[in-house]
């Protein structure tokens, strides 16, 4: 199990369709580590990270999704609500932050400019 950092693996970063796509963005990896630390070093559950175009379409991702470039991850932390998690994302320096209360995760990305939304 190859590691990208102390707490994240290649397995977690790979596209979930089985295509093997995995672009590693170091800024995003550092952001995820910072969020983990902000939450009291609790494990970050990765719902979605890299996506190929086909898989992104299949799950209804935005056509220009940052997931296509390996710059976004949808994550949750057990015992931490999405609003609180969004705050951790904020203090950890995420560019894009999308909260998905119904699905129970927060989208974070490192697109290079701020973006905020809630679904």
Positions that interact with Zn ion (CB under 5 A): 15, 17, 19, 21, 52, 55, 72, 74, 107
Q: Least distance (Å) from Zn ion to the CB of residue 22?
A: 10
Q: How far apart are CA 5 and CA 117, in angstroms?
A: 28
**Residue number, 55 or 88, with CB nearest to Zn ion:** 55
For Zn ion, the closer CB: 17 or 23:
17
CA–CA distance from 69 to each of 26, 53, 81, 117 (Å)? 12, 10, 27, 20
- Work out how close the CB of 58 gets to Zn ion at its nearest, in angstroms, rounded to a whole number: 9
State the minimum distance, in angstroms, from the CB of residue 11 to Zn ion.
14
């Amino acid at each position: 199990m190859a590691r990208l950092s102390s707490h994240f693996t290649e397995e977690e970063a790979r596209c979930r369709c089985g295509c093997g796509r995995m672009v590693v963005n170091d800024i995003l990896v550092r952001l995820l580590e910072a969020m983990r630390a902000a939450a009291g070093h609790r494990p970050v559950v990765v719902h979605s990270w890299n996506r190929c175009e086909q898989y992104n379409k299949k799950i209804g991702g935005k056509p220009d999704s940052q997931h296509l470039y390996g710059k976004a991850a949808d994550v949750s932390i057990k015992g931490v609500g999405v609003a609180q998690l969004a705050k951790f994302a904020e203090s950890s320096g995420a560019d894009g932050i999308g909260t998905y209360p119904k699905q129970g995760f927060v989208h974070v990305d490192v697109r290079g400019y701020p973006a905020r939304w809630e679904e």
